């Protein structure tokens, strides 16, 4: 599978262009472009960008995303093959590529990534324990929100250790955090104490006292006064790489 190859093919088909036409625009051979689209060869980001630009895509719409990020949105596209009611018409061949008659043409929704960058996806940063950005993930925006929060307020926090192992959060797992400035009973939250940030499960004891729980090799809990703890947000999702 080649994300950039999929993106090139999708945009080419959306513009009803042949391999030969796009290859000529991009200054590459038709065979090379065919191999890229089929995932047999890897194309460099700058070369793919140049070919896409030649096809008419505008770079300013990328909004800070890498081209590989953009290519990932190809998965969001809907490719529909029309099923003709009558017997299919005879195929024509042009520039070594099959072209279907309008009744059986493969319809591809092109340029979806352009819309995705502005209204569907959000580049969500991943922060480490000192709140330095160490990466990012793309998340879908639903009804203008991500997990019920404003898209620019959510972020990922990379677990710095195994202190939450008993709550199924291991070191380097990334936790999606949404805003929460006060303790939520029973929730795993990102908290700050004396400049140190950590993940803890919260239990409210009364109106002014909370229990911050962690569980590595054994269960531990620390009783704290609410004013002594800065609550940075609630964890709503945990992700990890295989």
Most confident of 17-26, 58-67, 75-84: 17-26
What residue ranges define each of the domains in the chain, with the CATH number in brackets?
3-110 (1.10.260.40), 122-239 (2.10.109.10)
Positive or negative: CA dihedral 33, 38, 44, 48: positive
More confidently predicted of 140 and 78:
140
- The 10s digit of each residue's pLDDT in 186-228 is 999 999 998 899 999 999 999 899 999 999 989 999 999 999 9
Report yes or no: 2 and 32 within 8 Å, Cβ to Cβ.
no
- Does the pLDDT value for residue 182 go beyond 50? yes
Range of weakest confidence among 53-57, 109-113, 166-170, 174-178: 109-113
Q: 47-56: long-range contacts at Cβ-Cβ below 8 A with a sequence spacing of 24 or more?
A: 48/4, 48/7, 48/8, 50/26, 51/8, 51/22, 51/25, 51/26, 52/7, 52/8, 52/11, 54/22, 54/25, 54/26, 55/11, 55/12, 55/15, 55/17, 55/22, 55/25, 56/15
Beta strand pairing call for 155-158 and 121-127: parallel
Mean pLDDT of 177-193: 96
pTM: 0.58
pLDDT in tens, 9-20: 888 888 889 999
pLDDT (0 to 100) of residue 8: 87
Contact (Cβ atoms closer than 8 angstroms) between residue 220 and residue 213: yes
Residue of 26 and 73 predicted with greater confidence: 26
Task: State the chain's mean pLDDT as an integer.
Answer: 80
Q: Label residue 95 by pLDDT band (50, 70, 90).
A: very low
Report pLDDT digits (tens) over 124-133.
Answer: 999 999 999 9
Q: What is the DSSP letter of 181?
A: -
Question: Helix H segments across the chain?
Answer: 3-14, 19-26, 30-37, 45-54, 67-72, 112-115
Residues 146 and 143: their CA atoms lie apart, in Å, by 8
Cβ(190)–Cβ(176) under 8 Å? no
Q: Which of 209, 208, 207, 180 is nearest to 199 (CA)?
A: 180
> Which of the 8 DSSP states describes residue 67?
H
């Amino acid at each position: 599978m080649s994300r950039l190859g999929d993106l090139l093919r999708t945009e080419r088909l959306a513009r009803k262009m042949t391999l030969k036409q796009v290859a000529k625009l991009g200054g590459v051979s038709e065979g090379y472009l065919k191999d890229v689209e089929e995932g047999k060869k890897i194309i460099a980001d700058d070369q793919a960008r140049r070919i896409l630009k030649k096809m008419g895509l505008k770079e300013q719409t990328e909004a800070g995303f890498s081209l590989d990020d953009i290519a990932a949105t190809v998965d969001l596209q809907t490719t529909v093959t029309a099923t003709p009611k009558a017997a299919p018409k005879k195929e024509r061949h042009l520039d070594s590529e099959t072209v279907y008659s309008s009744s059986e043409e493969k319809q591809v929704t092109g340029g979806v990534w352009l819309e995705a960058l502005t209204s569907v996806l959000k580049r969500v940063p991943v922060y480490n324990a000192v709140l330095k950005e160490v990466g990012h993930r793309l998340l879908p925006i639903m009804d203008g929100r991500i997990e019920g929060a404003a898209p620019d307020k959510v972020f990922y926090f990379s677990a710095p250790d195994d202190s939450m192992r008993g709550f199924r959060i291991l070191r380097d797992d990334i936790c999606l955090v949404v805003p929460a400035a006060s303790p939520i009973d029973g929730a795993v939250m990102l908290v700050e104490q004396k400049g140190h940030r950590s993940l803890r499960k919260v239990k409210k004891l009364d109106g002014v006292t909370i229990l911050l729980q962690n569980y590595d090799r054994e269960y531990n809990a620390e009783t704290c006064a609410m004013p002594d703890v800065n609550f940075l947000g609630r964890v709503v999702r945990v992700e990890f790489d295989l």
